[in-house]
Amino acid sequence: MIQNDAVILGLLAATLGVVFWTTASPSPFWQRVYKYVPALVLCYFVPALYNSFGLIDGEHSKLYFVASRYLLPATLVLLTLAIDLPATLRLGSKALVMFITGTIGVLLGGPAALLLWKALAPGSIDPEFWRGMTAIAGSWIGGAANQAAMKEVFNINANVFGVMVAVDVVFANIWMAILLWMAANHRRIDQNLNADTTAISALSDRMERMRLADERTPSLPDLMAMLALAFGATGLSHALAAPLAAAFTGVVWAERLSLASEFFWIVVLATTFGLLLSFTRARRLEGAGASRVGTVLLYVLIATVGMQMNIGAVFNNPVLFGIGFTWIAFHGLLLLLVARLIRAPVFFLAVGSQANIGGAASAPVVAAAFYPSLAPIGVLLAVLGYALGTYGGWLCGQLMRLVSQ
């Protein structure tokens, strides 16, 4: 019914506005709704309903192209410039070990799950399913921005991508519920893990001081600086991506590794520029809300991704839900094993895991469920996940490609 992209953009913006307005509503009805249905799910699937019922034509709209080429790189810059690597290292080796373990659990769990289900259900897995699974890898190592990057880098079909988003959301939320249960029982779990929790109090005090030192109300120069850095880096990424991709065009091994893809270089360069900016004074823009501005751009991108989905495709591949269960179970068991070996508190296990699986939106929630003053640790590790998501998702995709052959 609606083919004008300006009208579609207005509809998507209004949809996002309603979703986030209702998340802040004190109404018991909306509080119950969002207790069971995360806002992120609605941001994906309400636009998908528009497309599935013929209200809009997501397939022919140019909004996703614009969002993926311009808003996605800007989002990656704004999310990664917030990284404070020295502060992250000062969190203690156990926090970083558990975070990296969570990343490895996703990186290896995907190929392991695919290999297992190829044996359990021979013939039921399409040889190209590995491409779709890279969307889950990008999301579970980094976040939705990295997931969208994997969609373009590995050329994932829109319907397959919709299925993968469903698998991602279902198991990410089940896992978060398990982590919140761990928070409610962390003392008993720490005893069973024989964990050393002496550093937690000092860590809590340090993170509270860091938060209070940088937090401020954003000024107009702050906001203009964010846009300048985000879109300036995006423009530079586009300028460098074309010759880099051209240099690898025609090289068989490079094309197999996506090195001849211009979009691959755009997202890698944007992530890299964000990391470089994190070592400059630009990192202080996080105190004025750089990641919040990046998240606004991100949710516009999420809505444009959603409007390409066909909801009916979610139910066509039930074996993928088995793959998702195996994948998240591998991730969780590896974390428990390493936590036991290094005597890490379950707090580090949960936050390190959720920083990978859930990202900056939910990692601080899990952290605060343990110790409210340590919520910023979840953000810090999750933003580190954004930086690794592009690289880790790409590497996981290459491993799954090998398993599928």
Higher pLDDT, 274 or 379: 274
Helix axes 346-357, 319-342, angle to 10 degrees: 150
Predicted pLDDT of residue 298: 85
Higher pLDDT, 66 or 314: 66
Averaged pLDDT of the chain: 84
Contact 330, 113 (CB under 8 A): yes
Predicted pLDDT of residue 388: 82
Q: How many CB atoms lie within 10 A of CB 370?
A: 24
Q: Give the gyration radius of the chain's Cα atoms.
A: 21
3-state secondary structure the chain: CECCHHHHHHHHHHHHHHHHHHHCCCCHHHHHHHHHCCHHHHHHHHHHHHHHCCCECCCCCCHHHHHHHHHHHHHHHHHHCCCCHHHHHHCCHHHHHHHHHHHHHHHHHHHHHHHHHHHHCCCCCCCCHHHHHHHHHHHHHCCHHHHHHHHHHCCCCHHHHHHHHHHHHHHHHHHHHHHHHHHHCHHHHHHHHCCCCCCHHHHHHHHHHHHHHHCCCCCHHHHHHHHHHHHHHHHHHHHHHHHHHHHHCCCHHHHHCCCCCHHHHHHHHHHHHHHHHCCCHHHHHHHHCHHHHHHHHHHHHHHHHHCCCCHHHHHCCCHHHHHHHHHHHHHHHHHHHHHHHHCCCHHHHHHHHHHHHCCCCCHHHHHHHHCHHHHHHHHHHHHHHHHHHHHHHHHHHHHHHHHHC
- CA dist 149 and 258 (Å) reads 12
Predicted pLDDT of residue 336: 94
Percent residues over pLDDT 70 in the chain: 90
Which structure tokens are listed for 321? Answer: 């839900």
Predicted pLDDT of residue 84: 66
- Dihedral, CA of residue 304, residue 305, residue 307 and residue 309, to nearest 10: 170
Q: Is the dihedral of CA 365, 367, 373, 376 positive or negative?
A: negative
Going by C-alpha positions, the residue among 166, 105, 150, 98 that lies closest to residue 317 is: 166
Predicted pLDDT of residue 239: 97
Predicted pLDDT of residue 327: 95
Predicted pLDDT of residue 241: 94
pLDDT surpassing 60 at residue 207: no
The pLDDT confidence band at residue 21, using thresholds 50, 70 and 90, is: very high
Q: Is the dihedral of CA 275, 281, 284, 289 positive or negative?
A: negative
Residue count of the chain: 405
Percent residues over pLDDT 90 in the chain: 29
